[in-house]
Chains A and B, each alone.
Chain A
C-alpha cells in the first residue's frame, strides 16, 4: 500500500514538475559575461570573409534591405553577407544568449537597447566610430539618445518611425473643417462633431477614438504632446510628479466619457485589424488617428482613393509651444557578442546607417524616416506633403522617445495596465493611482538591478 502511495506521490511530483521543467529548458542559456571587442588601430585595407546579418524585415521590406546589402557586397567583393530575414528580437536575444555568433543584428525595439548595451550582448561601437572618424552629430539628438545607454554606444540607427495625426479630408470638410486640430481641446471638439451615431445610438463613425490600446494609442505616443517625462534625474519614475501625465489622462477620459466606454468598446470591437486592409481609418470609420509615417505606404497600397492629410499631433492646450513635435522611435543595428568578423560587420553597419545613398534608398523602399541629416536633406529622398509632415516632426527639437532602461519596456507596460483601468472608470483617484504606478515602476526597476 505504501508503495502505491509512493508511486502516486512520484506521479504527482512528475506531473507538477513538468511545467517547471518546461520553463527551465527554455531558459538554460549560457548567459556568458560581457565581451567588448575593440577595433584594430586601423581599418583593414580590404575586407574579407563572411558576415552573418539577422534582421526582422520580411517580404517587400526585406527586399529593400537585400538591395542595400547587395550594394555593399558589390563595393566589397571579398565579403559575403549571409542574410537571415524575419528574425525578431526574441530570436536574436535567445541566439546570442545561447552563444551563437551573429555579426550584425538589426532590431526594431529601442526599448531593448539598455539591455543590449549593459549586458554586452551588443558590442560597444565607440572604438570603431572614433577610429573611422564617423560624425555622430549627423544623427539627430533624439535618435542619438535611443541608440545608446548609459554613455555606451552599442548601436547605430537605421531608419525611424515618427508619429503624427492622420485625418480624413472629406469627413472633416463635410463637418465644416478645413484644417486639422492643433490643441487637445480642438481635437476633442472636432471628434465630437465628426462622430456619427445610428438610430439606436451606436457609433457609426468616430471622430477620434481615444481608447488606450486602440491601434497606436499608447501613453508613450501621446507623451510628447503633453511634455510628459518618464523618469527623474535620479532614474526613478516621474509619472506621478509630472503634471503632463495627469493632463493626458484627464483629457483622454473626458473624451472617452463623451462616447461612453461600453459604446466605444463595442464600436472598436467591430473595426478591422490595424495592419490589414480593413484598418478603420482607411475604411473611413474613424476620421482622425495617431499613427506612424509608414501608414502612408499602407494607404497607398490598400486605400489609394482615400482623401487624407497628415499633421503633427495636437498638443495640450497649455503646451502650444510643443506643436510640431511627436514621438520618435526606430530600428537599431549593432554587432552581436562573439561576432566572428567584427571588422566586416562594422563596415556593413557603417554603410547601412551612415551612407547617404544607402539610407535614402532603403527609406524610399520601406517608407520610413531616414536617420541622418544628410539623408533627410537629400534630393533623392522621395517625399510628398503627407510624408513631409513626419520629416518635420522628426527634425523638431521637442520630439522625444521613450527612455532606455536596463529592464526594457516593463515601465511602459505598467503604465499601460493602469491606463486601461483608468479609462474604464476603475480608478477613483488619478493622482493616487499615478503615484502607485511610480512605486510599481521603481520596484520593478529595483528588481532588475538587485545587488
Chain B
C-alpha cells in the first residue's frame, strides 16, 4: 500500500509536463472533433432516435406519440407481411450468401489455373460487378422474360422446360440467386487476390507429402484464405439482411408496373410476395404508408438480428479462421 502511494507520488508529473500533456490531448481532441461530430450527428443521434420512435406512433407529419410496445406487439402477432418478408430474407441469407461464396471461389480458382488469358477472363468475370444494380436487374429480367427472353427460347429449342422465372413465386428467389451469381465479380476479385497470395512453398511441401487435390485445398488453400472467406461471409450476410434494390426492381419490371411512377405497392414482392424482403417492408411501412414508428421497430429488430449474426460469425471466426486468436 505504502509502495503504491510512493509510486503515485514519484510518478506524478511536474506541472510543466502536465500542461504539455493536456495540450497534446487537446490537440488530439481537436483533430478528432470533426469525426466525433459526424458520428454524433449522423450515427448516435439517429440510432437513439430510431429506438425512441419505435415506441411511438409517428406519421412524419405530426409529432410522435408514445404507444409503448404496441408496434412490437403488432409486428409479432398481427403483421403477416413481416413474416413473409423475414422468411424471404432468411432464405436469401441461407442460400444466396453461400451460393455466391462458393461460385466466387470456384471462378477465382478456375482463373488462377489459367495458363494464358488471365487478364481477359478476370475482366470478363468482373465486368458485371461494374454494371449499376438497376441496369443489371433490368437486363437480367428481360433476358429471363418467360415469353420473349432468349433464355427460355434456348431452353425451348432444346426441348427443356421453360420456367416463368421472375413471374413464378417458386422461381423468383432462385432467379435472384442467378442474378447474384452473374454479378460475382466483386467476390471473385478478392478471392483471386487471396488465392494468389498463398505461399507457393506450402503447395510444394504438400506435394512432397503426396497430398491429393482435396487435401491440398483443405489443408493449404483453405487455411490461408479463411480470413477473406470470413470477411465475405460477414459482409454477405449483412448485405443479404438489407437486400432491397434488386428485389424491388425485379418485381416491378416482372409485374409490368415499372413505369407507374410511384409504383404499385400492392404488387410489392411480386409474384405473391415471394421477393418481398425485410428491408423492403420496412421501407414500405415507413415511407409509403408512413407508419414511421412501426418502421423504426422493424429497424430495431433488424439491428438486433444483424448484431447477433455478426457476433456469432465473429465468435465462430476464432475456430474457423487460421491464425485468429486462440487457434492453432
Are A and B a genuine interacting pair, yes or no? yes
Which A residues are closer than 8 A to B by beta carbons? 1, 4-5, 8-9, 11-13, 15-17, 19-29, 31-34, 88-90, 93-94, 96-97, 108-109, 115-116, 118-121, 213-215, 218, 262, 265-271, 273-276, 407-410, 412-413, 415-417, 419-421, 424, 426, 440, 443, 447-451
Nearest 6 CB-CB pairs, A to B? A270-B147, A416-B266, A24-B46, A16-B306, A24-B50, A119-B61
Residues of B close to A32: CB separation below 8 A: 62-63
Q: B207 to nearest A CB, angstroms? A: 35
Question: Judging by beta carbons under 8 Å apart, are A19 and B291 in contact?
Answer: no
Residues of A close to B80: CB separation below 8 A: 440
- Interface-centre pick from B74, B256, B257 (highest chain A CB count, 10 A): B256
Question: Judging by beta carbons under 8 Å apart, are A269 and B63 in contact?
Answer: no
Given the interface pairs A15-B238, A15-B310, A19-B242, the reply to whether A34 lies near B62 with Cβ below 8 Å is yes
In the complex, the chain A residue whose C-beta lies closest to that of B273 is A417
Q: Which of B61, B81, B302 contacts A20 (CB 8 A)?
A: B302
Task: Taking A17-B303, A31-B58, A266-B147 as given, write out 15 further A-B residue pairs in contact, using a Cβ cutoff of 8 Å, ordered by the A residue number.
Answer: A1-B326, A15-B306, A19-B241, A21-B47, A31-B64, A118-B62, A121-B61, A218-B264, A262-B168, A269-B146, A270-B147, A274-B257, A413-B268, A416-B266, A448-B291
B259 within 8 A of A: yes
Which stretch in B87-95, B115-123, B282-290 binds the other chain?
B282-290
B189 within 8 A of A: no
Taking CB atoms and an 8 Å cut-off, the chain B residues in 168-219 that contact chain A are: 168-169
Given the interface pairs A23-B50, A28-B46, A269-B254, the reply to whether A420 lies near B289 with Cβ below 8 Å is no
Question: Judging by beta carbons under 8 Å apart, are B50 and A21 in contact?
Answer: yes
Question: Judging by beta carbons under 8 Å apart, are B289 and A410 in contact?
Answer: yes
Q: Which of B60, B70, B302 contacts A97 (CB 8 A)?
A: B60
Question: Judging by beta carbons under 8 Å apart, are A89 and B262 in contact?
Answer: yes
Residues of B close to A273: CB separation below 8 A: 256, 258-259
Which B residues are closer than 8 A to A by beta carbons? 42-43, 45-47, 49-50, 53, 57-65, 67, 70-71, 74, 78-81, 145-148, 164, 167-169, 234, 238, 241-242, 254-262, 264-268, 270-273, 279, 282, 286-292, 294-296, 299-300, 302-304, 306-307, 310-311, 314, 325-326
Question: Judging by beta carbons under 8 Å apart, are B326 and A416 in contact?
Answer: no
Question: Judging by beta carbons under 8 Å apart, are A23 and B295 in contact?
Answer: yes
Question: Judging by beta carbons under 8 Å apart, are A447 and B294 in contact?
Answer: yes
Q: B102 to nearest A CB, angstroms? A: 23
Q: A427 to nearest B CB, angstroms? A: 11
User: What separation, in Å, do the CA atoms of A214 and B254 have in the docked complex?
Assistant: 11
Question: Judging by beta carbons under 8 Å apart, are A19 and B306 in contact?
Answer: yes
User: What separation, in Å, do the CA atoms of A227 and B272 have in the docked complex?
Assistant: 27
Residues of A close to B164: CB separation below 8 A: 262, 265-266, 269
Residues of A close to B45: CB separation below 8 A: 24, 28
Q: A336 to nearest B CB, angstroms? A: 11
- Interface-centre pick from A22, A94, A213, A450 (highest chain B CB count, 10 A): A450
User: What separation, in Å, do the CA atoms of A116 and B61 have in the docked complex?
Assistant: 8
Question: Judging by beta carbons under 8 Å apart, are A214 and B273 in contact?
Answer: no
Residues of B close to A262: CB separation below 8 A: 164, 168
Residues of A close to B254: CB separation below 8 A: 269
Residues of A close to B282: CB separation below 8 A: 23
In the complex, 23 of the A-B residue pairs with CB atoms within 8 angstroms, ordered by the A residue number, are: A1-B326, A16-B303, A17-B47, A19-B242, A19-B279, A20-B299, A21-B42, A24-B49, A27-B50, A31-B64, A88-B261, A93-B290, A96-B61, A115-B290, A121-B61, A213-B264, A269-B147, A407-B289, A408-B290, A424-B169, A424-B271, A447-B78, A447-B291
User: What separation, in Å, do the CA atoms of A215 and B267 have in the docked complex?
Assistant: 11
Residues of A close to B310: CB separation below 8 A: 11-12, 15-16
In the complex, the chain B residue whose C-beta lies closest to that of A415 is B266
User: What separation, in Å, do the CA atoms of A448 and B63 have in the docked complex?
Assistant: 13
Residues of B close to A23: CB separation below 8 A: 46, 50, 282, 286, 295-296, 299
In the complex, the chain B residue whose C-beta lies closest to that of A4 is B325
User: What separation, in Å, do the CA atoms of A408 and B303 have in the docked complex?
Assistant: 27
Residues of A close to B299: CB separation below 8 A: 19-20, 23-24
Question: Judging by beta carbons under 8 Å apart, are B260 and A12 in contact?
Answer: no
Question: Judging by beta carbons under 8 Å apart, are B78 and A265 in contact?
Answer: no
In the complex, the chain B residue whose C-beta lies closest to that of A14 is B43
Residues of B close to A25: CB separation below 8 A: 42, 46
User: What separation, in Å, do the CA atoms of A426 and B78 have in the docked complex?
Assistant: 20
Question: Judging by beta carbons under 8 Å apart, are A412 and B266 in contact?
Answer: yes
User: What separation, in Å, do the CA atoms of A1 and B303 have in the docked complex?
Assistant: 26
Question: Judging by beta carbons under 8 Å apart, are A420 and B241 in contact?
Answer: no
User: What separation, in Å, do the CA atoms of A23 and B302 have in the docked complex?
Assistant: 11
Residues of A close to B60: CB separation below 8 A: 27, 29, 31, 93-94, 97
Given the interface pairs A265-B146, A270-B147, A426-B272, the reply to whether A413 lies near B238 with Cβ below 8 Å is no
Residues of B close to A120: CB separation below 8 A: 61-62
Residues of B close to A21: CB separation below 8 A: 42-43, 46-47, 50
Residues of A close to B43: CB separation below 8 A: 17, 21
Q: Which of A16, A19, A26, A448 contacts B287 (CB 8 A)?
A: A26
Q: A106 to nearest B CB, angstroms? A: 14
User: What separation, in Å, do the CA atoms of A16 and B302 have in the docked complex?
Assistant: 8
Q: A11 to nearest B CB, angstroms? A: 8
In the complex, the chain B residue whose C-beta lies closest to that of A416 is B266
- Interface-centre pick from A108, A268, A269, A270 (highest chain B CB count, 10 A): A269
User: What separation, in Å, do the CA atoms of A411 and B81 have in the docked complex?
Assistant: 13
In the complex, the chain B residue whose C-beta lies closest to that of A16 is B306
User: What separation, in Å, do the CA atoms of A33 and B63 have in the docked complex?
Assistant: 6
Given the interface pairs A24-B47, A410-B289, A440-B80, the reply to whether A19 lies near B256 with Cβ below 8 Å is no
Question: Judging by beta carbons under 8 Å apart, are B147 and A12 in contact?
Answer: no
In the complex, the chain B residue whose C-beta lies closest to that of A273 is B259
Residues of B close to A115: CB separation below 8 A: 59, 61, 290
Question: Judging by beta carbons under 8 Å apart, are A420 and B49 in contact?
Answer: no
Question: Judging by beta carbons under 8 Å apart, are B270 and A93 in contact?
Answer: no
Question: Judging by beta carbons under 8 Å apart, are B42 and A274 in contact?
Answer: no
In the complex, the chain A residue whose C-beta lies closest to that of B303 is A20
Question: Judging by beta carbons under 8 Å apart, are B167 and A271 in contact?
Answer: no
Question: Judging by beta carbons under 8 Å apart, are A20 and B300 in contact?
Answer: yes
User: What separation, in Å, do the CA atoms of A94 and B286 have in the docked complex?
Assistant: 12
User: What separation, in Å, do the CA atoms of A83 and B299 have in the docked complex?
Assistant: 36
Residues of A close to B62: CB separation below 8 A: 31-34, 118-120
Q: A180 to nearest B CB, angstroms? A: 24
Residues of A close to B292: CB separation below 8 A: 27
